[in-house]
Amino acid sequence: MGTTVIGQTVSHYKIVGQLGQGGMGVVYQAEDTQLGRHVALKFLPEKMASDATALQRFQREARAASSLNHPNICTIYAIDQHEGQYFFAMELIEGEPLTKKILDRTFSIEQILDMSAQIADALEVAHAKGIIHRDIKPANIFFTTRDQIKVLDFGLAKQVFDQSKSGEEAPTSVEELTATGTTMGTVSYMSPEQARGQITDARTDLFSLGTVIYQMATGNAPFPGETSAVVFDAILNRDPVPPLLLNSKLPPELQRIIEKCLEKDRSMRYQTAKELRTDLLRLKRDLESGSRPTASESGSKSGAAPVRLSENALVVLYFENLSGAKEDEYFRDGMTEDIITELSKIKDLKVFPRPTVLPYRDKTVTATQVGQQLGAAYVLGGSIRRAGNRLRINAQLVDARTDFPMWSERYDREMKDVFEVQDEMARNIAQALRITLSPQEVQELERKPTANTQAYDFYLRGRSYARRLTRSDLELAVQMFERAIELDPEFAMAYAGLSLVYSLFFEWHGKEPATMEKALATCERALSLQANLPEGLGARARINYTQHKYDEAIGYARQALKLKPDCESANWCLGQAYFASGRFADAMNISASVVEAAGDDYNVYVPLMVSAEKLGMTEKATEFRSQQTRMIRHHLDSVPEDVRARILLACNYAAMGNAHEAVAELKTAVALRPKDANVLYNAACAYALLGRKQESIALLTRSKEAGFLNLDWATKDPDLTCLHDEPEFQALITAERAAGR
């Protein structure tokens, strides 16, 4: 239909004028002669009217959009046709597109948060109905004369349905994506999965919304380029310029929100629009109440006031491993974490916990960037190089507000001096920040786990292997801890680590009485050397958990955590004991402290996830799963051989609906450890989450044959919910109970 239609009456609509034209429709202003109101009519273009696929898409758009009723979504009034041409009547909006608003003015932070929350609210309603917009961009978002957001044109929306039933498939290439008439989203606002031609989901809209928020906040597109090829490359392979570098007035928290929206891996993005909206509204509330500083208040290179979060808020970045040896990564990580622990003993310092720092590991960032993003006044970074028994450490403390070095030092020492270096570093930092240490703090800093640094080196190796749970990794952990004890027979933490590993062996790789006897003996030895050793109490908690004495396990784990909040063996065991005993709410109550202390121990998230799912806290479970996924992906970059991490990643992908990635990861893990009970059990969980019951049952059977099936866990595990009523699953459980396990 052309401009000649103006003045004509279509059905009971008198067309007044043309409003616009896009790839999926021509829009006119019209008067509804029956109801006496002005509306917008959208017609399928004539050139596409004979295209059956385009017609089906238009009809699907109309059905999908007409089911939405929300103040931030353009309302669809009716669907009709005129002389063989389909159209629908929709709300006529008085206002202007966000595109023009972005060009005309700079938004206040409050406006950005408010508008973004409105868009997220609209998407939340659409996603709840199985509708994905797929073309979120400023041109499809109107700012009304009443300062209200309206999301328009669900012309690219699709209902989420079973592909095998619908016959619809995602585009398979960039060429198909950009073909005339089939573009699934405007290039600059596309998600990586759209650019790759993969199937889209709700998280696709959240990426696109992230690009819109970025543009509102900075005035620039996050992925600029003069050609589609350049833009595609940026979306797929490049990170945008940090928003704070383009607009220093932004709150650091808003940058975090934007960056989470723009994660290239959708499993690391916000998983729901509700989750995003909650963060936006929380930040708006905090800014209005004055409880959180803006970037200008936090300080920048221009030199503003100190961070009120704490004048001595300090971030310790993971030191760079200059030796280049992969086997030195565990030492670098352990050294950095020890420095964090040492500095945390100084009460006048607010030291950010390990999980906060992990995303920056092995990334090139400046102290100013980190300080602005986290709201920290100071950043400590450096490098470590090991060569035989020699150790070189370079450390520098930087004022994140001015980028001015507060203190720096180079240590050329022997390995045996590593604890003295940590002690000296903590004292020098306190002095640089004009903090006076109390006698108790001095005493705490002087306390060392062992006088033998080589023993400590083996201890760090053992701790790294122990987290992985596979038989071969636990065997290596035993060797490392035993070697540490040979070098220092009084090394209490090494005995505690050995006890923990024996308990894990008993739990996951066959319940041999001799193994439990070793666990008990080494635990007693650890506690006889140091009565209140947190790691020793954590080992005793694990022994009780393994013996199904959950109340005792909880008691010992709590004792350990009271003494050392980041005692990872105790945090993990406490969560597991709460879950196994059905105390899911208690597991949720400790979740914040557990996550804060987690470091790179991905195991602690497992009982939190399953407890949240048992309580019906789906969003919380998804949040835990996303956090663990991010941690594991970072971890696998440096330790790709960690099969335990890989199989947990497979389970997460399965839970998130990423079947291809899940199957790829679990097949790799099973191929690497085909007879490991832990790996086989978790592979069964991944298949169960994908609804592939027979494959899951087969792997559970193999897990049992490999020596383990934890009844208390498997019968409660929400990952296996689809199997709980299956006769084959019940038969496995019955057989285990008959065997007394």
Q: What is the CATH number of the domain that holds 708?
A: 1.25.40.10
Q: Which long-range contacts (CB under 8 A, 24 or more apart) does 183-189 make?
A: 183/23, 184/134, 184/135, 184/156, 185/134, 185/135, 185/137, 185/156, 186/135, 186/137, 186/139, 187/228, 187/231, 187/232, 188/137, 188/221, 188/223, 188/224, 188/225, 188/231, 189/135, 189/136, 189/137
Instruction: Look at residue 388 and tell me if it is in a domain.
Output: yes
Whether 740 has a pLDDT exceeding 90, the answer reads: no
Instruction: Look at residue 194 and tell me if it is in a domain.
Output: yes
Instruction: Look at residue 628 and tell me if it is in a domain.
Output: no
Whether 193 has a pLDDT exceeding 70, the answer reads: yes
Tokens of 81: 């046709």
Q: Are residues 30 and 150 in the same domain?
A: no
Whether 160 has a pLDDT exceeding 50, the answer reads: no
Instruction: Look at residue 499 and tell me if it is in a domain.
Output: no
Q: Are residues 209 and 318 in the same domain?
A: no
What DSSP letter does each residue of 362-385 carry, written as one string?
Answer: T----HHHHHHHHT-SEEEEEEEE
Average pLDDT, integer, range 338-351: 83
Whether 338 has a pLDDT exceeding 70, the answer reads: yes
Residues of the domain holding 146:
95-291
For residue 54, which amino acid is it? A
- Euclidean distance between CA atoms 45 and 24, whole angstroms: 7
364-405 pLDDT, tens per residue? 778 888 887 777 889 998 888 887 778 888 888 988 878 888
- Check: CB of residue 284 under 8 Å from CB of residue 112: no
- Would you state the pLDDT for residue 184? 35
3-state SS record for 226-292: CCHHHHHHHHHHCCCCCHHHHCCCCCHHHHHHHHHHCCCCHHHCCCCHHHHHHHHHHHHHHHHHCCC
If you count them, how many residues does the chain have? 741
Q: What is the CATH number of the domain that holds 335?
A: 3.40.50.10070
Name the CA dihedral angle for 325, 329, 331, 332, rounded to a multiple of 10 degrees. Answer: 110
Q: Which residue has the higher pLDDT, 58 or 338?
A: 338
Confirm whether 135 is a catalytic residue.
Answer: yes
Q: Are residues 12 and 26 in the same domain?
A: yes
Whether 415 has a pLDDT exceeding 80, the answer reads: no
pLDDT-based confidence at residue 488 (cuts at 50, 70, 90): very high
Residue 181 gets the label, from left (phi > 0), alpha (psi -120 to 50) or beta, of left
For residue 124, which amino acid is it? E
Helix ranges (H only) for 6-157 are 46-49, 52-66, 98-104, 109-128
Write down the pTM of the prediction: 0.53
Instruction: Look at residue 569 and tell me if it is in a domain.
Output: no
- Report the sign of the C-alpha dihedral through residues 425, 426, 427, 433, in that order: positive
- Euclidean distance between CA atoms 657 and 199, whole angstroms: 11
Whole-angstrom CA distances from 497 to 191, 519, 558 are 45, 10, 18
- Euclidean distance between CA atoms 278 and 260, whole angstroms: 14
- Report the sign of the C-alpha dihedral through residues 712, 717, 721, 722, in that order: negative
Helix ranges (H only) for 590-674 are 591-597, 605-614, 618-638, 643-655, 659-672
Instruction: Look at residue 663 and tell me if it is in a domain.
Output: yes
- By mean pLDDT, which of 308-312, 407-411, 417-421, 626-630 is the weakest? 308-312
- Euclidean distance between CA atoms 516 and 182, whole angstroms: 64
Name the CA dihedral angle for 565, 568, 571, 576, rounded to a multiple of 10 degrees. Answer: 180
- Would you state the pLDDT for residue 165? 35
- Check: CB of residue 591 under 8 Å from CB of residue 604: no
Q: Are residues 335 and 406 in the same domain?
A: yes
DSSP 8-state class, residue 565? T
- Would you state the pLDDT for residue 24? 57
pLDDT-based confidence at residue 172 (cuts at 50, 70, 90): very low
- Tell which residue, 287, 277, 291, 300, has the closest CA to residue 149: 277
Q: Are residues 337 and 262 in the same domain?
A: no
Say whether 352 sits in a helix, a strand or coil. Answer: coil
Q: Are residues 61 and 179 in the same domain?
A: no
- Would you state the pLDDT for residue 179? 34
- Check: CB of residue 346 under 8 Å from CB of residue 352: no
**Cβ within 8 Å of residue 372, ≥6 positions away:** 244, 248, 252, 255, 295, 298, 300, 400
- Check: CB of residue 143 under 8 Å from CB of residue 97: yes
Name the CA dihedral angle for 401, 403, 406, 409, rounded to a multiple of 10 degrees. Answer: 140
Say whether 2 sits in a helix, a strand or coil. Answer: coil
50-72 pLDDT, tens per residue? 667 766 766 666 676 777 888 88
Q: Are residues 428 and 355 in the same domain?
A: yes
- By mean pLDDT, which of 80-84, 560-564, 586-590, 689-693 is the weakest? 80-84
Helix ranges (H only) for 23-87 are 46-49, 52-66
Average pLDDT, integer, range 191-203: 88
- By mean pLDDT, which of 154-168, 595-609, 681-695 is the weakest? 154-168
Q: Are residues 28 and 109 in the same domain?
A: no
Q: Are residues 274 and 358 in the same domain?
A: no
Whether 157 has a pLDDT exceeding 50, the answer reads: no
How many whole angstroms from its chain centre is CA 228?
Answer: 29
Beta-bridge mates of residue 414: 390
Q: What is the CATH number of the domain that holds 7?
A: 3.30.200.20
Whether 103 has a pLDDT exceeding 90, the answer reads: no
- Check: CB of residue 647 under 8 Å from CB of residue 686: yes
- Euclidean distance between CA atoms 98 and 216, whole angstroms: 9
Beta-bridge mates of residue 381: 396
Q: What is the CATH number of the domain that holds 232?
A: 1.10.510.10
Query: Among residues 35, 69, 91, which one ends one of the domains?
Result: 91
Name the CA dihedral angle for 386, 428, 355, 669, rounded to a multiple of 10 degrees. Answer: 10
Beta-bridge mates of residue 378: 314, 399
Helix ranges (H only) for 325-366 are 329-344, 354-357
Q: Are residues 433 and 393 in the same domain?
A: yes
- Would you state the pLDDT for residue 175? 35
Whole-angstrom CA distances from 186 to 195, 229, 328 are 10, 13, 46
CA atoms within 13 A on the CB side of 369: 13
- Euclidean distance between CA atoms 397 and 376, whole angstroms: 12
R_g (Cα) of the chain, nearest Å: 29
Query: Among residues 91, 109, 129, which one ends one of the domains?
Result: 91
Q: What percent of the chain has pLDDT over 90?
A: 30
- Would you state the pLDDT for residue 48? 58
- Check: CB of residue 137 under 8 Å from CB of residue 189: yes
How many whole angstroms from its chain centre is CA 639?
Answer: 19
| Domain count within the chain | 4
Query: Among residues 59, 91, 123, which one ends one of the domains?
Result: 91
Average pLDDT, integer, range 536-554: 95
Instruction: Look at residue 127 and tell me if it is in a domain.
Output: yes
Tokens of 252: 């650091």
Q: Are residues 67 and 104 in the same domain?
A: no
Whether 529 has a pLDDT exceeding 70, the answer reads: yes
- Euclidean distance between CA atoms 582 and 559, whole angstroms: 21
282-303 pLDDT, tens per residue? 899 888 876 544 433 333 333 3
Catalytic residue (one of 135, 473, 601, 642): 135
Instruction: Look at residue 529 and tell me if it is in a domain.
Output: no
Q: Are residues 161 and 282 in the same domain?
A: yes
Q: What is the mean pLDDT of the chain?
A: 82
